[in-house]
Every structure is written in C-alpha cells, then in structure tokens.
A and B are shown apart, each in its own frame.
Chain A
C-alpha cells in the first residue's frame, strides 16, 4: 500500500499511455498517444481530495501538521494530541530554514474497514522561500485515532522533485562580477540577491548600443529538482528545438536548486541584428519519471531579435 502510493509519480505517466493503448480504438490510439507523449517526463499527481488544511478531515490535517513539524524539526508547539508511534525517517528531506509552509494537499484518505480507527493518508506539503524558491514533500502516513489522541504508527516522507521547474533568467555585465566564480555568494538566496542587484533590466535594452559586450547569464531554477535530473543552459539562433551551444555553461547545485551560468559576448539590442539570439533552459528529468526522460524546453529568452516589420527593407503601405 505504502509503496504503491509513494510510487504515484513513477507509475502514472507510463500507466496512462498503456491505458490509452489498451482501451482506445486503433484509429484514435496514435493521436491520443501523441498527445500523452507530451506528458512524458513529468509527474502527474492524482486529483486532490482536499487542497488546504481547513478542507481536510480534522485528523488528516493534524497528522499533516505533525509531519510538517517533523520535517522542519519543530519540537515545541506540536499538538499534544498527536504523537509518533515510532521515529520516522525524514532525513532525506532537508530544506533550508528560510523555506516555510505554503500549502498542503490531500490525495488519499482511507479508513481500514476492519479497524475504523486505523487510517491511511497520502498528501503533499508545499514549502516556499521569501524569494519564490520552493519545494514539496510527499508523505504517506498510517495512524490510529482515538477520542483524545492520534498515534502515527507509520509514516514515510520523500521529497517531491519538480518535473516542471520554473527558470528565472538574469543578465549581468561581466565587469560587475568577481573574476573568480569561487567568490560568488555561496547560498542560493545570497547569489540570487547578488545577481538581481547587478542585473540589467530587460526594458533597458532599447537604449543599449548594439556593439557586443561581455555579459554573464544566470538561470536560476525556482523549483528543486532531483539529483538525477539536470538543467542545461544553451545559446541558439534557432527559436525552436532544444539544441544550442552549451559547452561553456557552468552549473551550481544548491541542494537540488540548480543555477546555470554562461558568459560570453552578447548584444542585447534588437537593432542591427541579422540573426535572433535565444537563451534556452532545457530540463532533463530525473529517474523518478521512469526510463523515458526526454529533455524538455522550460525556458526560452529572446536576447535580441530581428523583426521583419521593423526592417528598413519594408516600407509601410501608407508611404
């Protein structure tokens, strides 16, 4: 039971494809398969039965709160009515102190028919930092509730790595950065703060001269990704596709929150450009999504563009 619930994220994408292949008619199979192929490499959670603590059954909310407290190691203030029957292993789920509770969902709530006081729940607890950094924990808990007390007899907590991480791109003049990357701030939040202070504002590009200048591009992932997943930052003149130049990109990994850093000579101005230039953030899913892990474009940023309508070549019809 536990293992099957915990493996939601492993099973669902594959299962969906097999269901479609098995049930649908041959005519529609290919089309539907193609549609579902888009979901490959992603975790699809089941529909929640409660999307907040106050809409959960009271005992499920109390257990979820206790699990949360265990994760963030709050010793004080834990409900006197909830205790753990045995120690749970939440050690694999390490988060910074700055990440705080931002929500909870419940996917499974089942009462044992033979013993109504014995219940099993599965849910998700979300954490978010002040600058938008976030992660989630998936938990499955078995507990017995009596009139005055809830005893969590078994619980399992695992990090729920994002398969749709959200990237943020900043462009910083290289001259304003330390020469040695080892001198960069050594925490995600400090680096993000440092970079955003030095970064150029996208709207300022219209005033920029078109000569190339040395810039460093930072791509931060707001979401935590699994150790087997990867972020790739590439530069390309092609709008479509996931390919591009990536040989000089360096990566920093802050306990699952990755940052891609790429330096080079760029022009941020649209003017005088004969080729558009894109920075692409490509995500390679981790092992948690199964054997098929197709890389996916999660971010495309137009550094400069050629606009056919702005070309001097074209004269508007009003002339």
Chain B
C-alpha cells in the first residue's frame, strides 16, 4: 500500500497553507518548476516530508529545532552552513507554498530519500521570494539524518513592483538614512506618498517629485532596473530618469539610486512632472542578469510596470502658461497660452530647441567672445570688460583691430579673426605706441613731457584675471 502511494506520488506538489493569501501573483522564474503538478491535501503528505521541510525552514531562519515533539532531525556536518544566507534570515517571511517536484522514497533510492522542490515565501508587505530545495535524508532508528540540503534563491524574469510618488519637499537628506531599512522605507512612503484616492491633496502644477520603485520580488544583484518617463504607455520608450549627485547623497555608480534590502530593490529617481497636467507614464524597466541564472542569457529589457502621472483632474499650470507666453513672445506658436501642455506646445518647444542649437552653432559662443575680448585687451584695445557679451565696445575694438591688421572691418568674430588673434604675439609693453583710440602718447620731444599708458604689473594682471573670472555675466549690453 505504502509503495503504491509512493509510486503514484513520485512527482507531486504539496501545498502547506500557513495563511490564506488572496491574489497571489506567480512570477515566471528563471528555473521553471516542473510542468506536471499534482495538488494533494497537506494532511495526506508523508509526515517525514513535512518534518524535514519544517526543519530546513527553521535552519534557514537560524532558529533551533523543536525537541520532543518530532523525531530528532540531525544535520550532518557542514550542511547547516549551506542553508544560511550571509545577511538574510527570512525573518518576517512566512512559508506560503511548498512545491515538490521530485520525491524518491528510500525503497527506490538505496535507502536514502531524495526530495527536490521550491519554497515560496511572503511577508506582510507582499514581498516574496522563491527558493529551490534539494534534500537527501535517511531514517536511522528514530532519527532522521539529513545528508544533503541545498537551497538556492531563484530570481524572477518578470518581477512585480509598486510605485510611490513623493513630493520632493517632503524628502529631506536625513530621510535617506532610513531608506536602507525596508520597513522604515515603507512606513515613510505610506505616510508621505501622493495618493490618487485623495485628489484634493494632490499638488498642482509642475513640481519635483521623488519616485520610489519598490520591487516585490527578490532580484539578482546583476539584474538591471531603471525608470523612464514617456509620453505613451506601451513600449520601453521614455526619458531615462536619474538621481542627481546634487541631492546630497553619495553616488552609487548607477544612474538611479538603489537601495538593496537583501535583494528587494528600491529604486529612487527624481523627476519634474505634473500630477494634474499632461498625462505621462512612469515606466519601470527590468532586465534580468546572468550571474545567478547561468542557464539563461541576459534577458531582454522588460516593461515591469507602467504608471500614469496624472492622478487628478487636469488643471492649467501657471508654469506651462509662462512657457507658452515666452514662446509666443519669441515668435513660436504653442497654441493658446492656456496652461495646458498640448501637442502644439510640445512642437513649439521642440522647434525652439532646434532653433537654439542652430543659432548657437551660427553665432560665436560666449567663451569665444570672451577669448576675443581678452586677446584684444592684451593687445591694447578697449573692448570693455571681458564678459562674453558682444556689445558696442567689443564690436568697435574688433573693427579697430581688423582695420589695423588690414582685415575687412565688419566687427564680427570670424575664424580668421580668431586665428589672427591667437597666432599673433601680444604687444604688452608700456613703451609701444598704440594707434588706437585713447592709447596714444606724446613721445619725449625736447623738453616736452611724455604721457604713457602704464601697463598693469603682473600682480595687478593676476588680480584682474581673478576678478574677471568671478564676475557674473551681465545680460544688459553696456553701450
């Protein structure tokens, strides 16, 4: 009878329901569970199997085995170490499912029982993890001797996550100290995140927010995650969100700030969005790594989650209105200045960006102007303070220089002018007679006195250079 039952159940699944969890999501895992699954009543499971798995879970948690209740379970040397993860004890996690995919009774395996399966853990925050299990044990009188026990965390190819949006002003530098703790992080997020269920409390207009992507599945260290902001809900397209070093937190080597809670990752990015404006989509992109799942290749990026940014009824945004008015003033057509970011406004901004680039390419840069001004000053001309602004003084000084050097005196910065200015040696000496306006002197003639323009000393020159570098650029051209 016993042999018959074991034969039938050579492959079966045992479900031990320690708690009733509804809506359990089953993530696809890198190592797929067996296709043939048989559910049986836990009451019908072999008692030795229940006892061994319970003992394994206790070992994984680093807890002592119960005494007196069950037959003594003995782990032979070194096995216990293989059941412990360095920094994780599954504390707070409950064993939801035990999936057994191979069970060889001692009669079929030279007196040793062989068991292969998976353990599925959950915690109160609905975080979950899957562990593969391989055990060999035998009965010796009233003891169960475990000869082999190996566990291996399995990482999902399709993880799930929750996204929280927190106004930037609610996150202080000190808060980042608690984000290394999962429970504190969740507490913080629940207290401070914006909720679609409270539309009256949703901030209006474009503001800075921190986006927290909290993965429910345990991820491999080499899995890659990122957050993007896109206009369309499907596809991976979007602008990559980053966490800035200027937020006062040490760089992590990633574009995102990652907090790794024993494999449960929390990605934090900062973005500037409106929760009451144009509907954009925050996208969590996941790319499985290979380190822990050597049997598979690096997976393709996968859209792990899409979250619309508009959480409340759209309202006009004063900043968008300002932008639209500025675009209208600049000669663009962003549509009516109504404070709503529509297609026309987007197109006008895109056009403005393109034009700005072209304009920047056609006109000398501020640095170039500054360089020309500095070179002119060095040569005794008077383009005013080298501030990088093309004003009347600069133009006149360029014309004068061009005239003196037999160049077309158009007052414009050209490649030939730059070449000439940088190639020729400076004429910095107090004895040279300048032909430029205001730089001429009376040379000693008989008893006549000489008026000279004194050149600044090296110390004064250094001081002037320092002053110039510290001056803020003036947007008003001085005639």
Q: Which residues of A contact B (CB under 8 A)?
A: 51-55, 61-62, 65, 68-69, 77-81, 100-105, 126, 130-132, 164, 166-171, 192-193, 196-197, 199-202, 207-210, 222, 269, 271-272, 274, 279, 297-303, 306, 308-309, 311-317, 319
Interface residues of B in 446-479 (CB under 8 A from A): 447-449, 451-454, 456-457, 460, 463-464, 466-467, 469-476, 478-479
Give the contacting residue for A311; candidates B206, B435, B454; CB below 8 A: B206
| Contact A52 B239, beta carbon cutoff 8 Å | no
C-alpha spacing A199/B352, complex, angstroms: 34
Residue of B nearest to A313 (CB): B206
| Contact A169 B352, beta carbon cutoff 8 Å | no
Q: Given A65-B451, A80-B447, do A105 and B438 touch, yes or no (CB 8 Å)?
A: yes
Asked if B292 is at the interface (CB within 8 A of a chain A CB), the reply is: no
| Contact A167 B474, beta carbon cutoff 8 Å | yes
Proximity bits, B247-288, A CB within 8 Å = 1, else 0: 110000000000000000000000111100110100000000
Of the stretches B144-152, B229-237, B411-419, the one at the interface is: B229-237
Asked if B440 is at the interface (CB within 8 A of a chain A CB), the reply is: yes
- Considering residues B206, B277, B349, B456, which has the most beta carbons from chain A within 10 angstroms of its beta carbon? B349
Measured CB to CB, the closest approach of chain A to B255, in angstroms, equals 14
| Contact B353 A316, beta carbon cutoff 8 Å | yes
Cβ contacts under 8 Å, B452 to chain A? 101
| Contact A170 B208, beta carbon cutoff 8 Å | no
| Contact B476 A52, beta carbon cutoff 8 Å | no
Proximity bits, B414-457, A CB within 8 Å = 1, else 0: 00000000000000000001011111111100011101111011
Measured CB to CB, the closest approach of chain A to B229, in angstroms, equals 7
Give the contacting residue for B474; candidates A104, A208, A299; CB below 8 A: A299
C-alpha spacing A295/B244, complex, angstroms: 42
Cβ contacts under 8 Å, A170 to chain B? 470-472
Residue of B nearest to A206 (CB): B246
Across chains A and B, which 10 residue pairs bring their CB atoms closest together, nearest first? A103-B438, A52-B440, A312-B272, A130-B460, A51-B437, A199-B470, A54-B440, A308-B323, A300-B475, A169-B472
Measured CB to CB, the closest approach of chain B to A268, in angstroms, equals 10
C-alpha spacing A105/B157, complex, angstroms: 82
Proximity bits, B390-425, A CB within 8 Å = 1, else 0: 000000000000000000000000000000000000
Measured CB to CB, the closest approach of chain A to B320, in angstroms, equals 8
C-alpha spacing A81/B448, complex, angstroms: 8
| Contact A200 B470, beta carbon cutoff 8 Å | yes
| Contact A65 B442, beta carbon cutoff 8 Å | yes
Residue of A nearest to B318 (CB): A274
C-alpha spacing A103/B400, complex, angstroms: 16
| Contact A78 B449, beta carbon cutoff 8 Å | yes
Asked if B181 is at the interface (CB within 8 A of a chain A CB), the reply is: no
Cβ contacts under 8 Å, B437 to chain A? 51-52, 103, 105
Asked if B184 is at the interface (CB within 8 A of a chain A CB), the reply is: no
| Contact B231 A315, beta carbon cutoff 8 Å | yes
Cβ contacts under 8 Å, B341 to chain A? 313-314
C-alpha spacing A303/B472, complex, angstroms: 9
Give the contacting residue for A315; candidates B230, B352, B435, B436; CB below 8 A: B230
C-alpha spacing A71/B326, complex, angstroms: 52
Asked if B28 is at the interface (CB within 8 A of a chain A CB), the reply is: no
C-alpha spacing A168/B369, complex, angstroms: 18
| Contact A315 B454, beta carbon cutoff 8 Å | no
Given contacts A312-B206, A313-B320, 17 further A-B contacts (CB under 8 A): A53-B451, A55-B440, A61-B442, A62-B448, A65-B448, A68-B451, A130-B464, A131-B464, A193-B463, A196-B463, A196-B467, A209-B247, A308-B323, A312-B229, A313-B272, A315-B231, A316-B353
- Considering residues B207, B239, B467, which has the most beta carbons from chain A within 10 angstroms of its beta carbon? B467
